[in-house]
């Protein structure tokens, strides 16, 4: 599906091949989550052995969703529904983790009091709330989500419901920017990874709006998976967490370009266009205090610089 969404260069086949070669017990089943019938065969076959489901399959791009809303909704909402219902029918004690997104808050973060600095937007420090970032109490209602954000809301709310209504151990993790050395960044998805790819391949990069001062928090895949590990060991029912780099790891577009240029020593070939992407966040930093309160032993291992260096090392031989 990834090649269908973002082109052959965004395929993750290279990584599947690596995993198959490296780990004897890794089994890859190429199943479309929109097919209830195909999924059911797997659930029937493995039912009693399924203890944990990490649902990370998605049409993950904001921009792509508007091209084919039916496909986007089919994968993100209906695919999630298939997985939830099959879990309930075949292995209801399993822990079910869903990778949601900060786009469920729509463009509500853009109405926070922000101030403009030299290289980034920031929350106005005189404002009492959101100093540590955006928490789970921000409304997901009355806002422009983008088609993608709305299909993820449908899934996000349903995952919560299977926890609250059916008492299943479901956890919703609303990601900031998730990345790591194995990310196959594409123009429409995977900001840091794609930025590094353009820098190394000397491909032109376009910044859309907000003067390049839009801020994103970035979390390493290891740290996110470690969050899942903590949740799995002490699960709750229908819980929601913001999961991003928080104050620990975040950058604006301009700051990211600066950092990447320092790491690769290549100048970035980029231009700026005034029109921002519809519903795009100006400033988004996840407040992860709720997760930290529930799981105090969890800590970050990799910051922004570590992430970029790892992406660089993994990419320099591939690009």
Ligand X SMILES: NC(=O)c1ccc[n+]([C@@H]2O[C@H](COP(=O)([O-])OP(=O)(O)OC[C@H]3O[C@@H](n4cnc5c(N)ncnc54)[C@H](O)[C@@H]3O)[C@@H](O)[C@H]2O)c1
Looking at 106, 171, 175, 245, which residue binds ligand X (CB under 6 A)?
Answer: 175
Instruction: Supply the minimum distance, in Å, between the C-beta of residue 266 and ligand X.
Output: 23
Query: With contact defined as beta carbons under 8 Å apart, do 271 and 317 qualify?
Result: no
Q: Give the strand pairing for 215-220 and 250-252.
A: antiparallel
Q: Is 256 in the site for ligand X (CB under 6 A)?
A: no
* Nearest distance from C-beta of residue 178 to ligand X, angstroms: 4
The verdict on 177 binding ligand X (CB under 6 A) reads yes
What is the x/- site pattern for ligand X, positions 130-169, by CB under 6 A? ----------------------------------------
Is 106 near ligand X (CB under 6 A)? Answer: no
**Closer of 245 and 269 to ligand X (Cβ):** 245
d(C-alpha 282, C-alpha 134), whole Å: 13
Q: Which is nearer to ligand X, 31 or 115 (CB)?
A: 31
Q: Chain-centre distance of CA 63, in angstroms?
A: 15
Q: Verify binding: residue 32, ligand X, rule CB under 6 A.
A: yes
* Binding window for ligand X (CB under 6 A); candidates: 31-39, 40-48, 115-123, 159-167: 31-39
In terms of Cα–Cα distance, which of 144, 161, 315, 146 is closest to 239?
161
Burial 227-258 (b: 16+ CB within 10 A, else e): bbeebbeebeebbbbbbbbbebbbbbbbbbbe
The neighbour count for residue 85, using CB atoms within 10 Å, is 17
Member of 53, 75, 84, 140 binding ligand X (CB under 6 A): 75
**Least Å distance between CB 1 and ligand X?**
3
Residue showing tokens 């019938």: 37
Piece in contact with ligand X (CB under 6 A), picked from 52-60, 88-96, 230-238, 310-318:
52-60
Determine the residue with CB nearest ligand X.
175
Asked if 60 interacts with ligand X (CB under 6 A), we say yes
Alpha-carbon span 118 to 13, nearest angstrom: 41
Is residue 308 within 8 Å of 249, Cβ to Cβ? no
Q: Residues 170-188, buried b or exposed e (16+ Cβ, 10 A)?
A: bbbbbbbbbbbbebbbbbb
User: Which residues here bind ligand X, judged by CB under 6 A?
Assistant: 1-2, 12, 32-34, 56-60, 75, 79, 99, 101, 175, 177-178, 190
């Amino acid at each position: 599906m990834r090649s269908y969404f973002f082109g052959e260069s965004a395929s993750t086949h290279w990584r599947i091949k690596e995993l198959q070669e490296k780990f004897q017990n890794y089994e890859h089943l190429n199943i479309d989550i929109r097919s209830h019938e195909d999924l059911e065969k797997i659930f029937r076959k493995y039912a009693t052995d399924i203890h944990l489901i990490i649902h990370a399959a998605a049409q993950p791009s904001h921009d792509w969703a508007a091209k084919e809303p039916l496909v986007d909704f089919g994968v993100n909402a209906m695919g999630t529904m298939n997985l939830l219902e099959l879990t309930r029918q075949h292995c209801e004690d399993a822990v079910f983790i869903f990778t949601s997104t900060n786009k469920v808050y729509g463009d509500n973060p853009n109405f926070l009091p922000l101030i403009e600095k030299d290289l980034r937007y920031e929350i106005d420090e005189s404002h009492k709330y959101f100093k540590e970032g955006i928490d789970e109490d921000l409304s997901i209602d009355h806002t422009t989500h983008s088609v993608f954000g709305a299909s993820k809301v449908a899934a996000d709310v349903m995952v919560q419901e299977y926890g609250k209504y059916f008492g299943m151990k479901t956890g919703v993790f609303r990601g900031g920017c998730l990345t790591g050395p194995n990310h196959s960044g594409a123009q429409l998805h995977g900001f840091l990874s794609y930025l590094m790819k353009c820098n190394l391949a000397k491909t032109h990069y376009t910044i859309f709006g907000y003067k390049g001062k839009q801020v994103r928090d970035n979390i390493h895949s290891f740290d996110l998976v470690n969050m899942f590990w903590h949740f799995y060991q002490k699960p709750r029912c229908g819980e929601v967490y913001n999961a991003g780099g928080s104050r620990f790891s975040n950058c604006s577009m301009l700051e990211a370009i600066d950092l990447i240029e320092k790491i690769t020593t290549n100048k970035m070939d980029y231009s700026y266009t005034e029109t921002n992407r519809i519903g795009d966040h100006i400033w988004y930093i996840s407040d992860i205090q709720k997760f930290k309160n529930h799981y105090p032993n969890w800590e970050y291992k990799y910051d922004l610089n570590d992430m970029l260096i790892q992406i660089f090392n993994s990419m320099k031989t591939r690009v």
